[in-house]
Homo-oligomer: A and B are copies of this chain.
């Protein structure tokens, strides 16, 4: 096979594995070192609820790019840890609203600095315009496939 044929595969490798894995692991490690018993996946759910509380599960699917069973189980685990509570919607009985507890609101203050520090570390030496390009390209990749 020519080298050319592997260019795309290599890019797949880059987009899919490397950076995201490294960032995720570092963030997880930094949470743990701060004594916070929370996974980055759980954090990413809380992150969206901190921006807008009491989203339903489908909305969390859309915003986190996960499927419904994944959200069901993440919410199960977050409920076990008393960080969120499922509240049945009054207008549509199919819907669960996922609402933050006080404990989760407290967690926001504990994690936001860790997340910012981690991303600053990850983005060291990369300038604003490059970051902008990455965001736009990844957004377009996503749009191309959905």
**For the complex, what is the distance from the CA of A41 to the CA of B56, rounded to whole Å?**
31
**For the complex, what is the distance from the CA of A116 to the CA of B6, rounded to whole Å?**
8
Query: Given that A130-B137, A131-B137 are known contacts, is A5 also in contact with B144, CB under 8 Å in the complex?
Result: no
Of the candidates B8, B24, B123, B145, which one forms a contact with A144 in the assembled complex, judged by CB atoms under 8 Å apart? B123
CB of A18 within 8 A of CB of B112, answer no
Of the candidates B17, B108, B144, which one forms a contact with A124 in the assembled complex, judged by CB atoms under 8 Å apart? B144
**For the complex, what is the distance from the CA of A131 to the CA of B144, rounded to whole Å?**
15
Of the candidates B11, B26, B144, which one forms a contact with A121 in the assembled complex, judged by CB atoms under 8 Å apart? B144
* A-side interface size class: 35 or more
Report how many copies the assembly holds: 2
Query: Given that A65-B21, A133-B133 are known contacts, is A11 also in contact with B123, CB under 8 Å in the complex?
Result: yes
Q: Mark A1-32, 1 if CB is under 8 A from B, else 0.
A: 10001101101111111111111111100000
Q: Can you list 5 A-B pairs, Cβ within 8 angstroms, ordered by A?
A: A6-B51, A8-B123, A12-B115, A18-B139, A126-B141
